[in-house]
Amino acid sequence: MKIATILDQIELGSIALPEFQRGYVWNREQVRSLMESLYHKHPVGVLLVWVTKTESAKARGDAQLPPGSVKLLLDGQQRITSLYGIVRGQPPKFFDGNAQTFTGLYFNIGEQKFEFYGPVKMKDEPRWISVTDLMRRGIGGVLPDLLKLPEIAADSNIYINRLNAIESIKQIDLHIEEVTGEDKTVDVVVDIFNRVNTGGTHLSKGDLALAKICAEWPEARDQMKARLKKWSNVGFFFGLDWLLRNVNAILRNDSRFEAMKDVTPAEFQQGLLAAERATDCLLNLVASRLGVDHDRVLGSRYAFPVLACYLVARGNKLADHKERDKLLYWYLQTLLWGRYAGSVESTMRQDLTQLDPIEGALDRLIASLGQTRGDLKLRADDFAGWSKGARFYPLLYMLTRVWKAEDWETGNELSSYLLGHLQTLQVHHIFPRKVLYKKGHGKAEVNAIANFTFQTQSANLWISDREPEDYFPEVESRHPGALASHWIPMDERLWKTKNYAEFLDARRELLAAAGNQFLGNLLKGSIPEKKEAVSILEQRAVLTATEDEEDRLLAELNQWLISQCLPAGELDFQMVDPETGEQQEVLDAAWPNGLQLNLSKPVALLLDEPTHVHEAATQAGFTVYSSIERFKAYVTHDVLALQ
């Protein structure tokens, strides 16, 4: 079938995109290469379509499908979408991606090469011709300006042939293979899709499960995205795969997506509603009882399907505060010991088996975790990590939020700044970074967990860059006990910068003791209740641990990536030993699946990190960039193929 006819049929709705297909993922280099191949009449592969009855077809977008039958595009979406965008000058109705990828493609009539528009090179240069303009206006629309150039007018036939070669791309025949027959169910077709997409973007097990659901309930993906958006509005960021695991755990008590093969649309809708309610409940619990009120300190998010499954089995009504706190105790222990840092699917499956029978399930989960660890007791060395990506950073935040830590300026308990208040807490370096860097301390020492605490913005400004030996006596004089409430060693000798290493050792001991007491009381259900319970879902997202300059830059980078229809990086990405699950290094930002899933390599961004972190990331298969400028240049040139 000629390309022009294929594009016409897309406009008519006779060729559409099945619901289970993901969005457009090509970059500009792939678009340019496609046009170059077509210009030189090189083969670009066949198309594969699924011919099915219109009444049973589940297509993406809002195009009106014709009566009778429709052809759903199984293989060739990226090629056809690119051609449609170039020839028509706009994306098709089923489009989901970055339209800039195929916008602004130009052809140099003399050098016979395709490039995307660059004003320095192409402005006021008639030899560069807009491919879309040529496709829409025809040769007659662009030839007059070209013939004004003497060298082109002298050999006009050569250049007219080159223009014809581009315009005639629309008349190239692409072979279309058809999948037909009553036996071609969505399961069969999705399997065919995966088999033929060996060189394209595969559907993962989660995608495959969702594809089958979407084929029978087209609104499934949008309904799931609506839930994810609700949680992101209050500062918690989850993905479709994560939500699907929650639904799977609730419906099938299983972590394997294959378990969803027989789930009906009605069952899935019930499971999705149950997962939403359970997640709402859990987010309110971890926020009100643990002080975990934003994504950066959430951690162990793949424990949520197990927690959700437990809640649903209990009818979303826990017996008493002791059962509630024991549930949170298990969650917190999975966070501290990286329970889900390794193989998520097998670990989750082991934990889900502990829920049958539901009576005594929490005790079995805790015992199982204890057997894996050998000991759940905290030690000073556990707080020896550094950066906000370390596992014990969230515990320090929780202790500050709920364990009667006091503001150093006012003496008020920081728990009064919990949900429902617009006051925010900021990360505070007890020994100022500026002073420590000046004394020759490295980033890992400066950002040691034991050098972190949390204060209100007002207190942070009041302290500024003063050293502890300067401001600690003033805090203790004005608010006796306020320092100790943050587990500050009261030996004044340790408040001097020259004794910083000893200070860290002493504070780690205090933090371990406080952590053990906190966990023990949580397990016993003896942590005092907060007087005012406010639903976190009624609040807008407030970044309680205010970012420093580096955090701000990373946040801006992620926003830039999202604006380019690329995935945001995982901040404070934890590299773990695949066998032991032990944390190895923390990367400032990482894209473990690449910026284009299955189409680009894993990438990491490390800012002012020591050499051993770079080496570990490289050995783990990441391409490492050490500055945001260089990373952006890689994205612009290699991923987006922009000039």
The per-residue pLDDT for range 97-114, each reduced to its tens digit, is 778 888 889 999 989 999
| pLDDT above 90 (res 403) | no
Q: How confident is the model at residue 543 (pLDDT cuts 50, 70, 90)?
A: very low
DSSP for 217-268, please give it. Answer: -TTHHHHHHHHHHHHHTTT----HHHHHHHHHHHHHS-S-GGGGTT--HHHH
Q: Which residues does residue 576 pair with via DSSP β-bridges, in sequence order?
A: 583
Q: Which residues does residue 426 pair with via DSSP β-bridges, in sequence order?
A: 455, 546
The pLDDT value recorded for residue 56 is 66
Going by the DSSP 8-state scheme, the letter that residue 534 receives in this structure is: -
Q: How confident is the model at residue 546 (pLDDT cuts 50, 70, 90)?
A: very low
260-298: string of b/e by CB count within 10 Å (b at 16+)?
beebebeebbebbebbbebbbbbbbbbbbbbbbbbbbbb
Q: Which of 111-115, 187-191, 280-284, 486-490 has the lowest mean pLDDT?
A: 187-191
* Selection from 539, 457, 557 nearest residue 236 by Cα: 539
| pLDDT above 80 (res 626) | yes
The pLDDT value recorded for residue 541 is 42
Q: What pLDDT digit, counting tens, does each position of 566-619 carry?
A: 778 887 777 766 555 565 677 888 888 788 765 678 899 998 777 878 888 898
User: What is the phi/psi pair of residue 86, to 5°?
Assistant: -75, -45
Q: How confident is the model at residue 533 (pLDDT cuts 50, 70, 90)?
A: low
Compute the C-alpha angle 209/211/215, nearest 5°. Answer: 125
The pLDDT value recorded for residue 183 is 64
465-468 long-range contacts, CB within 8 A, separation 24+: 465/432, 465/434, 465/435, 466/432, 467/431, 467/432, 467/435, 467/495, 467/496, 467/497, 468/430, 468/431, 468/495, 468/496, 468/497, 468/503
Burial classification of residue 199, based on how many CB atoms lie within 10 Å of its CB (0-12 exposed, 13-18 middle, 19 or more buried): exposed
Of the two residues 132 and 372, the one the predictor is more confident about is 132
Q: What pLDDT digit, counting tens, does each position of 228-272 carry?
A: 989 888 878 888 889 999 999 999 999 888 888 788 889 999 999
Going by the DSSP 8-state scheme, the letter that residue 476 receives in this structure is: H
Q: Report the SS3 class of residue 272.
A: helix
Distance of alpha carbon 406 from alpha carbon 414, whole angstroms: 5
Q: What pLDDT digit, counting tens, does each position of 421-436 carry?
A: 334 678 899 999 889 9
Distance of alpha carbon 250 from alpha carbon 308, whole angstroms: 7
The pLDDT value recorded for residue 430 is 96
Of the two residues 66 and 82, the one the predictor is more confident about is 82
Q: How confident is the model at residue 3 (pLDDT cuts 50, 70, 90)?
A: very high
Distance of alpha carbon 275 from alpha carbon 258, whole angstroms: 18
User: What is the phi/psi pair of residue 590, to 5°?
Assistant: -145, 150
The pLDDT value recorded for residue 165 is 93
Give the number of other CB atoms < 10 A from CB of residue 6. Answer: 23
Distance of alpha carbon 103 from alpha carbon 32, whole angstroms: 11
Q: Which of 375-379, 482-486, 504-508, 551-555 has the lowest mean pLDDT?
A: 551-555
